[in-house]
Structure 1
Amino acid sequence: MSKKSHEVKQKREWVSRSEFSEQYRSPAWQKRRLERLDAAGWECGNCGDSESQLHVHHTRYVAGRKVWDYSDEELQVLCEACHSGAHALKERLNEALASIPGFDLGKVVGYALAAAATNRLDCAGNEGVLTLSTNEEVLGAADYFGVDWHEIFEIGAQGERPTARRLIDLRMRNAMACSDPKNAGSQ
């Protein structure tokens, strides 16, 4: 085992399955669960079902974090069918990711980061900042937004961070320029 992976393993706080299951019986989890159900109006956030049993689904788990110590965005209220579907979809995604070579996996991560940034866009000023760590992630984000990867690098060269809003605007400007009859001869 490499020194780096050994250090990472030491930093994680692993809990046994029984300790993990016990957290779901905690009053802290019960309170957090009720908060999420109340906030969702006691209906599935995916299909709107309010008749079936509801679950509070963790979109991800972080080693060492208590089950109640997750943000609202990480705790989705889902009906039983949508909850099962979410787990099946995640399993399918994991199977697909396992077969992707490293370079392409970086592009998939960039695509996913772009989708997540777009999901964070709102009228309150959230621009959907993208944090891209590798060239492959930049390529994936460029694919997602339909822009040339050079354009993302140019934003960084200007000392700015790329945002979903800016890349969507850039795609729209590029599309308008392509459809402009004045530019038809230059293509």
Structure 2
Amino acid sequence: MPIWYLNVDGSSDRKGGGVGIVLEGPNGVIIEQAVSFNFQLNNNQAEYEALITGLVLAKELEIEQRKLEDFLKSLGIKHITSFVEHLQMNGQAEAANKAIISELKKCLGAVKGLWVEELPEVLWAYKCTPHRSTREMPFNLTYRTNAMLPVELGEPSIRRGIQDMSLNDEHLRINLDILPEWREVAMIKNAAQK
């Protein structure tokens, strides 16, 4: 049976904290993960968060249950199985689908056979609506810019008239560079609510 080793470390300061996880597997396989928190916690709490995150990572990698039980027992931890985490990870797609189907039903009303034509508008509305868990729009988390519908008007708006297209590409590049940090902040907010 292959043996996996979990090494964790956590630290904190006034702005928040972070944890580092190194999972070493058989044949020299090393998996590293770093997580930062945008909320205050002390060093002990950071260490606990590191351990929990490492155990979640091990579980996601489907490391054998018996090895996990032995590891927890060596730390004096009584492991009580909880399915909440597993259900939340698997329920995300169903929750998104439920929201999309709900919006489709609202838009379609009596013309139920035209859902194929209405789906793009419903998806656009879903992507451009801030969600309660992250307080961000999925479109904004993906592209780090606000969605702007292409609308044809006789006169261009002031915003479009003064827009410098040469700077637009540069701004989009900058937004894409900082996108991972914004996603991480949204994930932390989402995790903090759970």
Check whether TM > 0.5.
no
Instruction: Determine which structure has the larger strand proportion and give its number.
Output: 2
Q: Which has the greater radius of gyration?
A: 2
TM-score, with structure 1 as normaliser: 0.29
TM-score, with structure 2 as normaliser: 0.28
